[in-house]
Amino acid sequence: MGEMLLVIDEGTTSTRAMLFGPDGRVHGSHVMPLTQNYPAHGLVEHDANEIWRNSLDCAHAVVNKAGGPEAIAAIGIANQRETIVFWDRTTGEPLAPAIVWQDRRTASLCRRLKERGEEPGVQARTGLLLDPYFSGTKIAWAMEHWPQLKGAGDRLAIGTVESWLVWKLTGGLHITDATNASRTLLMALGSGNWDDGLLDLFGVPRTALPRIVDSAGDFGTTKLLGGEIPICGLAGDQQAATIGQGCFRRGEAKGTYGTGAFVLANAGATPPASKNRLLATVLWQFDGRRAYALEGAVFVAGSLIQWLRDSLGLIESADETEKFARSITDNGGVYLVPALAGLGAPWWEPEARAAISGLSFATGKAHIVRAALEAQALQTHDLKTAFAADGDDWSRLRIDGGMVANDWIAQDMADILGIPVERPVMAETTALGAAMLAARGCGIFASLKDADVMRGAIETFEPKLSEDARQARLAGWQAAVKHVIAHSE
């Protein structure tokens, strides 16, 4: 058995497989796009079979680059977290579309549960809020509206994406790791077990759910890649990125800017309780013991740039955005609140709609593009304010994800947050975190701290914007957000 680590990073818009050495060097990668299906306003679905085919094809390509399965020590999996898959245990085939984390079809259900006074109890048990974002409400909707699920009886299997992939890779092992389970609204954060009261609240059959396991360990083997390879690391993508960024001490924070944007700060061994509408979640679990994180989730980040390109035609590629931002001296008073899938933390307004404000005859394409980029730092500042109010302010922020390859965004983040921002040279920190977990799980490293040798060099961006200019931009943003929220009620 070799020392290479194969990672399947199954994201929202693409599937990627990467090959890491134990020193963190990347020895190969392969990526395929994932089709986004929008059957109606607010609905977002994936084809679970496409997720599986893409994952298997990408993994095959990378195993071939490694020289064969004998070069691979272990597999790690990172995944889009709250997306939920329904399949038949007997046939192994999906019974319905996968409902994606961005999907808002359960907004009315969440509203009814809030009106019944259910949210405080749900938050106390899960660390989460009643929002369509989370898997539990999606399962409740599906069990009510898709009769084939109830008709499947004991054949029904339900799981998040890593659960689906492990099932397919192993030929029937039904597990989920604690980081993903903590995103379902069904797991009690303190015990790490499925909660009977929550299962009843959302009408979820316990028999359909997977067994909750650690984030690193022996999770069976796959024989589908030319030989037997053990699966040894599992984590939701944001927890994997937090590990890949080396946030091993309490208070250390990272922000990932991909399809959405997610800031997680290590909260230690005790479940945090937010009073400012942040989320408490499992950061990792080893030997049944959990570390926790406080999290702020923004639903629209890189997908906003995709929207500018594909729906509005303002740009031809994401790479153009930095040129547009630098072509003007400021935003010209233009603000873009990107509530294309509602507003996430700290607002949690699922029915909010996006808005562009401050337009005039002087407004050009560059102002709108720049406002889209500026929205990333401004949304992050909203999160920083909430973290600080909870007593967990950041002294610096480690950033990653496709958006922040753009130097302008990285500098703007430092300017608006008023703190140093660190960006690793190796940008694929989600995959790196999954590789670190797999390395720990298969025994290459005894601990995550030991696996930190896999991290590489970083770049630091220091704040440069004057305080007056920073406060002026923040004031304009706050007014724009208040306007959007007022029109969503």
DSSP secondary structure string for all residues of 413-469: HHHHHTS-EEEESS--HHHHHHHHHHHHHTTSSSSHHHHGGG---EEEE---S-HHH
**Cα–chain center distance at 136:** 16
What is the per-residue pLDDT across 132-189, written as a single tens digit (0 to 9) for each?
989 999 999 999 999 999 899 999 999 999 999 999 999 999 999 999 999 999 999 9
- Pairing type for strands 14-20 and 26-33 reads antiparallel
Last residue of a domain, one of 215, 237, 259: 237
The verdict on 231 and 252 lying in the same domain is no
Of 186, 214, 237, the last residue of a domain is: 237
Q: Per the structure block, which two tokens stand in for 356?
A: 């562009």
User: pTM of the full predicted structure?
Assistant: 0.88
Tell me what pLDDT residue 472 has.
95
Write out the H or E segment, with its range, that includes residue 19.
strand 14-20
* Most confident listed range (228-237, 306-315, 388-397): 228-237
Tell whether 205 and 318 lie within a shared domain.
no
Same domain, 409 and 335: yes
Boundary residue ending a domain (211, 237, 263): 237
350 DSSP assignment: T
274 lies in the same domain as 186: no
221 SS3 class:
strand
pLDDT digits (tens, 9 = 90+) for 1-20: 689 999 999 999 899 999 99
14 vs 159: CA distance, rounded Å: 19
Asked if the structure places residue 371 within a domain, the reply is: yes
Residues 48 and 173 in one domain: yes
- CA–CA separation, 191 vs 197, rounded Å? 14
pLDDT number for residue 350 = 80
* Residue 336 maps to a domain: yes
Residue 278, token pair as written in the block = 């942040």
If DSSP codes are grouped into helix, strand and coil, which group holds residue 56? helix
The per-residue pLDDT for 282 is 97
Q: Are residues 181 and 217 in the same domain?
A: yes
In this structure, which amino acid lies at residue 277?
R
Range of the domain at 28: 4-237
* Residue 198: DSSP 8-state: H
206/321 same-domain check = no
Per the model's pLDDT, the better-predicted residue between 203 and 351 turns out to be: 203
Separation between Cα atoms, residue 48 and residue 359, nearest integer Å: 42
Q: What are phi and psi of 175, to 5 degrees?
A: -135, 160
Residue 367 tokens read as: 């102002």
- How many helices, marked H, and strands, marked E, lie in the chain? 16, 21
Does residue 449 belong to any structural domain of this protein?
no
One domain, residues 413 and 312: yes
Which pLDDT score, from 0 to 100, does residue 489 have? 61
Regarding whether 260 and 194 lie in a shared domain, the answer is: no
Shared domain check, 183 and 47: yes
| Co-location of 207 and 253 in the same domain | no
Nearest to 96 by CA among 155, 30, 43, 47: 47
Res 401 pLDDT > 90: no
Q: How many domains does the chain have?
A: 2
pLDDT at 285: 96
Q: Are residues 388 and 486 in the same domain?
A: yes
What does the pLDDT average to over 217-242? 95
Name the pLDDT band for 299 (thresholds 50, 70, 90): confident
Residue-level pLDDT at 466 = 94
Within a domain: residue 447? no
CA distances, 23 to each of 3, 248, 460 (Å): 10, 18, 22
Specify if 439 maps to a domain.
Answer: no
Asked whether residue 462 is assigned to any structural domain, the reply reads yes
CATH number of the CATH domain containing 172: 3.30.420.40
Tell me: the pLDDT tens digits for 41-89?
889 999 999 999 999 999 999 999 999 999 999 999 999 999 999 999 9
Note whether residue 202 is domain-resident: yes
d(CA 92, CA 144): 22
Q: How far apart are CA 11 and CA 397, in angstroms?
A: 23
**Mean pLDDT lowest for which of 2-6, 38-42, 424-428?**
424-428
pLDDT at 403: 86
Classify residue 399: in a domain, yes or no. yes
